[in-house]
């Protein structure tokens, strides 16, 4: 304990280097173990804290902020910040940071890997082999869909979307089409060879549709029954963004009736719970929210979140603030 140092909470088990770095500046209360604090536990642990080092599992609401008036900075080790009420933070002069850029390429690698695994039925094939179901060969045995030279659709053309587009265009000769809230500048479209479409046209044209858009009230269930109905029966749907973007019941029904060919999902509406309807389907590849999970990337994310917190509470400019209008302490 150091009465002079500001107090901060590390809300999840973090790399030793992060605890060390933060301990050099702050009086650190570090949660041990991998359990997630309940909202009440989080509120209790945040009492008297000036800073919170969190991940995507801790919800920061206006109500919580009102109950933690000393809180000045919330730094999340994630690029997504749908778990933080940014407007409520800004209104209360609480600085908020996230961890963009450092995970872009790693997440794009995984998005593409999930696309490949889904289109080429890799999980289905492995399950069949392990279960002793590989007895012979037939011309259409586990025949999937082509990735090379097909049409890659990207919904949400931010940093990660563009990194996936590059993989598709330059690595696999794919035609890239996209939809985004705002259209990319002409030079960026030319560099990626990407064509802007309406959301409806994107759904109609994509052979493989990758979801990489931020989650918000506006994007909640933006892929539901009506949208899936526009997709090709041979199409695959890949989600590496947030589970709530897809209506999972509608998706499960479409996969069951083979109205689309397959889906690859790294994110789910009720994580870590997975909709039971998805678990029984052969034509869906399911992974436990690991798109950014390489050791170098996770360490980079953790380090950036720590740098942000140090800056926010020591009067420096945090590298990746989400509300730069809130000045550091
Ligand atoms: C993280 C993510 O694994 O950065 C994000 O937004 O979804 C993932 O990279 C997770 O949210 C950890 O906080």
Task: Give yes or no: residues 116 and 98 share one domain.
Answer: no
Task: Kindly give the confidence (pLDDT) of every residue in the chain, 329 residues in length, as a single tens digit, with 9 standing for 90 and above.
Answer: 566 899 999 999 999 999 999 999 999 999 998 999 999 999 999 999 999 999 999 999 999 999 999 999 999 999 999 999 999 999 999 999 999 999 999 999 999 999 999 999 999 999 999 999 999 999 999 999 999 999 999 999 999 999 999 999 999 999 999 999 999 999 999 999 999 999 999 999 999 999 999 999 999 999 999 999 999 999 999 999 999 999 999 999 999 999 999 999 999 999 999 999 999 999 999 999 999 999 999 999 999 999 999 999 999 999 999 999 999 98
Report the separation in Å between the CA atom of 79 and the middle of ligand 1, taken as the mean of its atom positions: 6
Residue with tokens 């600085």: 95
Residue 329 included in any domain = no
**Residue 242 designated active-site:** yes
CATH number where 308 lies: 3.40.50.720
Predicted TM-score (pTM) of the model is 0.97
Task: Give yes or no: residues 24 and 160 share one domain.
Answer: no
Active-site residue identified among 13, 59, 256, 289: 289
Task: Give yes or no: residues 136 and 214 share one domain.
Answer: yes
Ligand 1 contact, 292 CB (< 6 A): yes
The number of folded domains in the chain is 2
Ligand 1 contact, 80 CB (< 6 A): yes
Burial class of 42 by CB neighbour count within 10 A (0 to 12, 13 to 18, 19+): buried
Which whole-number Å values give the CA distances from 219 to 114, 199, 202, 212, in the listed order?
22, 12, 16, 11
Task: Give yes or no: residues 206 and 265 share one domain.
Answer: yes
Active-site residue identified among 121, 227, 242, 248: 242
């Amino acid at each position: 304990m150091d009465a002079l140092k500001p107090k901060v909470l590390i809300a999840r088990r973090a790399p030793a280097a992060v605890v060390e770095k933060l301990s050099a500046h702050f009086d650190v209360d570090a949660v041990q173990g991998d359990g997630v604090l309940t909202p009440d536990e989080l509120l209790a642990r945040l009492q008297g804290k000036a800073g919170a080092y969190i991940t995507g599992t801790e919800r920061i609401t206006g109500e919580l902020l009102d109950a933690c008036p000393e809180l000045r900075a919330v730094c999340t080790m994630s690029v997504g910040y749908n778990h933080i009420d940014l407007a409520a933070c800004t209104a209360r002069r609480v600085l908020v940071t996230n961890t963009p850029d450092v995970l872009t390429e790693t997440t794009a690698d995984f998005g593409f890997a999930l696309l490949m695994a889904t289109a080429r039925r890799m999980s289905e094939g492995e399950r069949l082999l392990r279960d002793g179901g590989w007895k012979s060969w037939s011309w259409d045995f586990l025949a999937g869909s082509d990735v090379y030279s097909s049409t890659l659709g990207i919904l949400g053309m931010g940093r990660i979307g563009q990194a996936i587009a590059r993989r598709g265009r330059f690595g696999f000769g794919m035609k890239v089409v996209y939809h985004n809230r705002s259209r990319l500048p002409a030079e960026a479209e030319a560099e990626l060879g990407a064509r802007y479409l309406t959301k409806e046209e994107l759904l109609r044209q994509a052979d493989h549709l990758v979801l990489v858009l931020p989650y918000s009230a506006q994007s909640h269930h933006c892929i539901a029954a009506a949208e899936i109905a526009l997709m090709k029966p041979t199409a695959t749907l890949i989600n590496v963004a947030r589970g709530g973007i897809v209506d999972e019941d509608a998706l499960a029904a479409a996969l069951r009736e083979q109205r689309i060919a397959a889906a690859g999902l790294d994110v789910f509406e009720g994580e870590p719970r997975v909709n039971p309807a998805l678990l029984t389907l052969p034509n869906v590849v399911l992974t436990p929210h690991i798109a950014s999970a390489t050791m170098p990337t996770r360490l980079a994310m953790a380090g950036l979140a720590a740098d942000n917190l140090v800056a926010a509470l020591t009067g420096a400019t945090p590298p990746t603030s989400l509300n730069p209008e809130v000045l550091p302490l």
